Amino acid sequence: MELNQIIVAFALTAFAGFSTIIGAIMAFFTKKDDLRILSFGLGFSSGVMIYISFMEILPHSIVSMQEHHKNGELLALACFFGGILLSLIIDRLIPKDVNPHEPRNDLSELKICPLPKNNEKTPHFHPGEPIINTRTLKRTGIFTAIAIAIHNFPEGFAIFYASLENISFGIAIAIAIAIHNIPEGLAVSLPLYHATNDKKKAFIYSALSGFAEPLGALIGYLILLPFIGELALAVSFALVAGIMVFISLDELLPAAKTYDKAHDSLYGLIIGMGVMALSLYLLD
């Protein structure tokens, strides 16, 4: 294995991972009191992640597993649902008092927050409705960053390993993942920026969620590479697909519907799917 191959593989992984920064920057150009763009952005993110999971990552895993195991499709589907189960377990391990997915006894907690200071304009759900709970919105951004980082970790090694095996395939995967990492960065940055009005914090969390990708490549190279084969890589792809679907259905879409008006989240979801479909078609 040549040094140049390793450097290129790491570069592609870093490119894909840190594309979350582009999404973070995009969030700063939205109006803080316009929550329709927040709903649209979260819906767009979920559309991208759901589409690429079902139409690209999971099918790739199935094909790869069928080449190595007679029950490859069943094994891939088991790993897919294993990824969902893993995400569910992680979600359940988060303390209830800080878990945004747990129901609250006082439903008004979801909408009411302390009065703004210094006459600062605080965003509402829609005109005439109570102001949003910035703490809940901040938690959404933070836990979205954690969840994205978790699934970016195996993605990073997948890009790295694919690039070592076939540079053209590695480039295609890196570009596809980079495209869907942009709205992921947006999904992290938007709620944090709306909640804190702190561009630096929103930027850092988005960048850290993307940093998990090159970190996954590095750890995989140092520890896992000598022991992993194509079958194990296919397993990781299926797990990643399950994790991404769980994030979309359990985190992004519920958050998008919270700030929805006139089906903004649905429009975002459909357009997100369309953008990812077009990008994958152009990459074929």
Tell whether 155 is in a known binding site.
yes
Cβ atoms of 189 and 205 closer than 8 Å: yes
Q: Which residues contact 157 (CB under 8 A, 6 or more apart)?
A: 216, 217, 219, 220, 221, 224, 236
Count Cβ atoms below 10 Å from residue 249 Cβ, excluding itself: 15
Spatial separation of the C-alpha atoms in residues 273 and 189, rounded to whole Å? 20
Spatial separation of the C-alpha atoms in residues 211 and 145, rounded to whole Å? 11
Q: Which residues pair with 131 in a beta bridge?
A: 124
Spatial separation of the C-alpha atoms in residues 216 and 158, rounded to whole Å? 9
Spatial separation of the C-alpha atoms in residues 252 and 46, rounded to whole Å? 6
Tell whether 2 is in a known binding site.
no
Q: Which residues pair with 124 in a beta bridge?
A: 131
Spatial separation of the C-alpha atoms in residues 123 and 197, rounded to whole Å? 11
Pick the closest to residue 218 from 159, 279, 268 (CA basis).
159
**Which token pair is 260?**
């929805």
**Which token pair is 32?**
């803080």
Return the SS3 of 125.
Answer: coil
At 156, which amino acid appears?
G
Tell whether 152 is in a known binding site.
yes
Phi, psi of 279 (to 5 degrees): -65, -40
Which residue ranges are tagged as binding site?
A: 152, 155, 180-181, 184, 213
Which residue ranges are tagged as binding site for Zn(2+)?
A: 155, 180, 184
Which residue ranges are tagged as binding site for Fe(2+)?
A: 152, 155, 181, 184, 213
